[in-house]
């Protein structure tokens, strides 16, 4: 049996194959009904968790990683981002998250951003070394308030998304420019889109908003085959959204939800998960007058499933999503629910709970060993495994750091060789 200290676990960082290993004596945060297991072991074989519990024996030939009591969690959710479909936000040729087609149908729900996903993006390792293992690619910011579709990707270098697609819609003041300058017009247009998708408006009508492919795509979500993720903040708009979703029989999730706490009982009853920016506590606009740092805690206390996602430059700052969870915990959210918002909740909400978001027998071994509490940004991810493979714990930032920390030689530090 081969025994390895954590510092030696990097030996297979570049290995293309899963590592058979026993992670010994960890504080295992399973993100399941088992909760947190003190002094537990996790056996990984063939990229899959095979056993979880205390005192596990390492089979012959299986490496041992001594955790020393440190926290072990599932790889975390990075929020709703453009990782892999955006490289430089200010350079339009590297941004593939939105569609604007002039002189064509203005609403294109068939648009799917996962088709542009680049697993070689430099943003993947930037997020991954901070413990982020999966994200939801979101469509947004195009020429319509129905932005298109996205899906979950694992940040392990694989090219294809996992699980079902999600449809992205914006409501409220952020979408007024694409919906007739009125919130009322948003509901008017949504009603027409539903009528078209359900065949109540002729496909060849001169007033049709959808292509044939768009009608088919929207019809899928109207039949409950996927989740509609709605970016919305104002309580009045969320109330109207809940009524619309109930009437049309669709599955929704709320993104943003700055004033969602005002409708916490209704959201809980409708089983609508809310992905909050837990640092949104200022009345930045008229949709967020009621913003509060206690948003996540109040929602969860009412029974709402709470996840986390940043507003703003989420792709380049996905690593900060655990800071959101930590701040929510500091403002009343139970710690286990803070971790669940980065693991179990998004995995279940977006239909990938059989693959990511938990440490359990039979699940993919997407794991992170931390120096301390993962919701405290003073701590770091010491090793990330995705599918049982130890990921290289470096990014363009760490490479630049190391370059300029080296002693000066005959050439300036900018020359790596």
> In this structure, are 145 and 182 located in the same domain?
yes
Structure-token match 């940040």, residue found: 155
**By the 8 A CB rule, do 413 and 407 touch?**
no
> In this structure, are 181 and 68 located in the same domain?
no
**By the 8 A CB rule, do 332 and 297 touch?**
yes
> In this structure, are 61 and 128 located in the same domain?
no
Residue 252, token pair as written in the block? 């929704």
Judge whether 130 lies within some domain: yes
**By the 8 A CB rule, do 385 and 391 touch?**
yes
Which residues on adjacent β-strands are paired with residue 112?
149
Residues whose CB falls within 8 Å of the CB of residue 258, separated by 6 or more in sequence, listed in order: 233, 234, 276, 277, 280, 287, 288, 290, 291, 295
> In this structure, are 238 and 378 located in the same domain?
no
How far is 156 from 152, CA to CA, in rounded Å? 12
How far is 222 from 199, CA to CA, in rounded Å? 12
Nearest to 213 by CA among 138, 139, 137, 112: 112
What are the average pLDDT values for consecutive 10-residue runs of the chain, which has 417 residues? 41 58 98 97 97 96 96 98 92 88 79 97 96 96 90 97 97 91 95 94 86 96 96 98 97 98 98 97 94 98 97 88 97 98 98 97 97 97 98 92 83 75
Structure-token match 């399973």, residue found: 30
What's CA 191's distance to the chain center, in Å? 29
- DSSP, collapsed to helix, strand or coil, labels residue 204 as coil
> In this structure, are 299 and 243 located in the same domain?
yes
3-class DSSP string for 18-83: CCCEEEEEEEEECCCCCCEEEEEEEEEECCEEEEEECCCCCCCCCEEEECCCCEEEECEEEEEECE
Judge whether 229 lies within some domain: yes
> In this structure, are 388 and 304 located in the same domain?
no
Helices (H) and strands (E) in the chain, counts: 10, 17
Phi, psi of 217 (to 5 degrees): -65, -45
> In this structure, are 225 and 371 located in the same domain?
no
Beta strand residue intervals within 204-357, DSSP E: 227-232, 251-256, 274-276, 306-308
What's CA 261's distance to the chain center, in Å? 21
Give me the pLDDT at residue 406, please. Answer: 80
CB atoms within 10 A of CB 183: 19
Judge whether 287 lies within some domain: yes
CB atoms within 10 A of CB 283: 12
How far is 40 from 51, CA to CA, in rounded Å? 10
How far is 85 from 90, CA to CA, in rounded Å? 13
Judge whether 411 lies within some domain: no
Residues whose CB falls within 8 Å of the CB of residue 137, separated by 6 or more in sequence, listed in order: 80, 81, 82, 83, 84, 85, 97, 113, 114, 117, 150, 151, 152, 153, 161
Judge whether 361 lies within some domain: no
Give me the pLDDT at residue 403, please. Answer: 84
Residue 350, token pair as written in the block? 């977006």
Q: What is the CATH number of the domain that holds 282?
A: 3.20.20.140
> In this structure, are 314 and 327 located in the same domain?
yes
> In this structure, are 13 and 134 located in the same domain?
no
- The full length of the chain comes to 417
Give the global pTM: 0.92
How far is 281 from 288, CA to CA, in rounded Å? 8
Structure-token match 């619309």, residue found: 244
How far is 272 from 364, CA to CA, in rounded Å? 26
Judge whether 360 lies within some domain: no
How many separate domains does the chain show? Answer: 2
Give me the pLDDT at residue 105, please. Answer: 64
Residues whose CB falls within 8 Å of the CB of residue 219, separated by 6 or more in sequence, listed in order: 197, 198
The DSSP output letter for 311 is S
Q: What is the CATH number of the domain that holds 30?
A: 2.30.40.10
Judge whether 372 lies within some domain: yes
> In this structure, are 179 and 324 located in the same domain?
yes
> In this structure, are 156 and 277 located in the same domain?
yes
Domain that holds residue 119: 76-349
Q: Report the b/e string of 150-168 with b at 16+ CB within 10 A.
A: bbbbbbbeeeebbbbbbbb
> In this structure, are 24 and 92 located in the same domain?
no
Judge whether 357 lies within some domain: no
């Amino acid at each position: 049996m081969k025994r390895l200290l954590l510092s030696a676990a990097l030996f297979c960082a570049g290995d293309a194959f899963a590592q058979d290993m026993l992670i010994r004596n960890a504080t295992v945060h399973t993100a399941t009904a088992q909760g947190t297991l003190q002094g537990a072991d996790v056996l990984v074989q063939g990229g899959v968790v095979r056993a979880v519990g205390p005192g596990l024996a390492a089979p012959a030939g299986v490496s041992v990683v001594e955790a020393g009591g440190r926290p072990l969690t599932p790889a975390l959710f990075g929020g709703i981002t453009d990782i892999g479909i955006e490289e430089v936000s200010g350079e339009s040729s590297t941004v593939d998250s939105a569609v604007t087609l002039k002189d064509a149908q203005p609403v294109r729900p068939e648009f799917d951003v996962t088709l542009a996903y680049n697993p070689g993006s430099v943003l993947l390792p930037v997020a991954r070394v901070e413990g982020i293992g999966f994200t939801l690619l979101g469509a947004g910011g195009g020429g319509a308030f129905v932005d298109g579709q996205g899906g979950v990707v694992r940040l392990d270098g694989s090219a294809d998304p996992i699980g079902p697609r999600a449809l992205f819609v914006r409501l409220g003041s952020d979408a007024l420019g694409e919906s007739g300058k009125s919130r009322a017009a948003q509901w008017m247009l949504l009603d027409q889109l539903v009528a078209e998708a359900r065949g109540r408006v002729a496909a060849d009508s001169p007033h049709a908003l959808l292509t044939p492919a768009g009608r088919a795509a929207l019809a899928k979500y109207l039949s409950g085959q996927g989740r509609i993720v709605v970016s919305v903040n104002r309580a009045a708009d969320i109330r109207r959204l809940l009524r619309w979703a109930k009437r049309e029989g669709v599955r929704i999730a709320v993104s943003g939800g700055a004033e969602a706490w005002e409708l916490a009982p209704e959201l809980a009853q409708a089983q609508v998960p809310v992905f909050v920016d837990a640092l949104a506590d200022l009345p930045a606009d008229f949709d967020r007058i009621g913003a509060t740092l206690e948003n996540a805690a109040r929602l969860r206390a009412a029974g709402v499933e709470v996840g986390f996602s940043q507003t703003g430059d989420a792709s380049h700052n996905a690593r900060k999503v655990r800071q959101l969870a930590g701040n929510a915990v500091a403002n009343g959210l139970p710690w286990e629910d803070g971790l669940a918002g980065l693991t179990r909740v998004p995995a279940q909400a977006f239909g990938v709970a059989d693959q990511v978001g938990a440490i359990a027998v039979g699940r993919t071994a997407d794991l992170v060993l931390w120096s301390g509490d993962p919701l405290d940004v003073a701590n770091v991810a010491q090793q990330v495994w995705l599918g049982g493979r130890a990921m290289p714990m470096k990014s363009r930032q760490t490479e630049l750091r190391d370059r300029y920390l080296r002693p000066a030689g005959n050439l300036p530090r900018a020359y790596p060789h």
